[in-house]
Structures are given as C-alpha cells and as structure tokens.
Amino acid sequence: MTNADPDAPRTAMPLGPSLLVAETFDQTQVTQLRHAATACAYGAGLRGQRLDDFVLAVNELTTNAVRHGGGRGVLRMWRQAGSLVCEVSDHGGGIGARLLGARGRPAPDTAGGWGLWLARELSDTMEVESDGAGTVVRITTILPTPHPTPD
C-alpha cells in the first residue's frame, strides 16, 4: 500500500455506510476512542464477553500506536460480511521482525509484545503490515447472527 501523501492512511478500508468510526487520535483521545469503539461494537451487535474482548483489543492497538507509533494514529471501524473490523494505523518506525513474527505468549519478564499478543488472542483474525513508514493492524470479530423477530 503506497500513497503519495506520507500522512495519508495506508488502508483498503471501504468508504460509505458501513464505516462506523474514522478518527485521528493521540494520547489525550485514547479513552474517548475506547468509548466510541464500545458504542459502535454494541450497536453492531456485540454483547457480553465478546464486546469486552473486542474493545480491549482495540484499546491495546490504540495504546500501542501512541506508545510505539509516533505518538498518534488513525482508528477506523466498519462492518464487513458479518464481521466488525477495526484498523489502527500509525507512522512510527515499524515493528521489528522478531516481534512481528512472534505468535506465542510473551514471557512474563518480557517488556514488549503484550499488546499485539492480547489483540490477536481477543479477536477472530488479526493482520499486521509494518515497515519503516509505520504499521497497520487490522482485527476482526464475527458478529452474532441476528435472530428474526416473529411477526
């Protein structure tokens, strides 16, 4: 994904009615974004532990963008084919190959890698693209099938 504008998002996110959130953020907006993510996920049909897990995963990604990705990021959330998708991008220096390739739980005394690991554990899918121009992390959770109401 290459854009001529270095501040333009590196994403293939849909535009239109399925877009629920599109926000640039810094540390001062992380809590506000968590509340917005909760409202969107709830509105999309997530409840209980699935809602809590998805919101925690989103919070880990936004916190990582602030801490490791240049102090700010972009959060986008949308519905897509029975799933809720959240994408967090930043313009930091990227994630090292060792950490990017790690799939197991970090050792208890490890200082890094917990946020990505937790986001992967708490979502149904996770994709990461990272290089020297920044990182894009996309997570999804499958939405519950709506039950038809009797007439």
What distance lies between CA 37 and its chain's CA centroid? 10
What average pLDDT does the segment 70-76 reach? 95
Q: How far apart are CA 122 and CA 118, in angstroms?
A: 6
Q: Which runs of consecutive H residues, i.e. helices, occur in 1-151?
A: 30-44, 48-68, 97-101, 114-122
Q: Are 32 and 110 in contact (CB under 8 A)?
A: no
With 70 as the cut, is the pLDDT of residue 147 above it?
no
- pTM value is 0.82
Q: What are the extents of the domains in the chain?
A: 26-142
Token pair belonging to 3: 């854009």
Angle between helices 30-44 and 48-68 (to 10 degrees): 150
Mean pLDDT of 39-67: 96
Q: How many CA atoms does the CB half-sphere of 90 hold within 13 Å?
A: 25
**Poorest-pLDDT segment among 2-6, 34-38, 102-106, 138-142:** 2-6
Higher-scoring residue by pLDDT: 145, 48: 48
The answer to whether the beta carbons of residues 73 and 138 sit under 8 Å apart is no
User: pLDDT at residue 94 above 70?
Assistant: yes
Between residues 21 and 101, the one the model is more confident about:
21
Higher per-residue pLDDT: 86 or 96: 86
Q: Between these two residues, 125 and 108, which has the higher pLDDT value?
A: 125
Options 3.30.565.10, 3.40.605.10, 3.40.50.300, 3.60.20.10; which CATH number does 26-142 get? Answer: 3.30.565.10
Rounded Cα distance between 20 and 37, Å, is 9
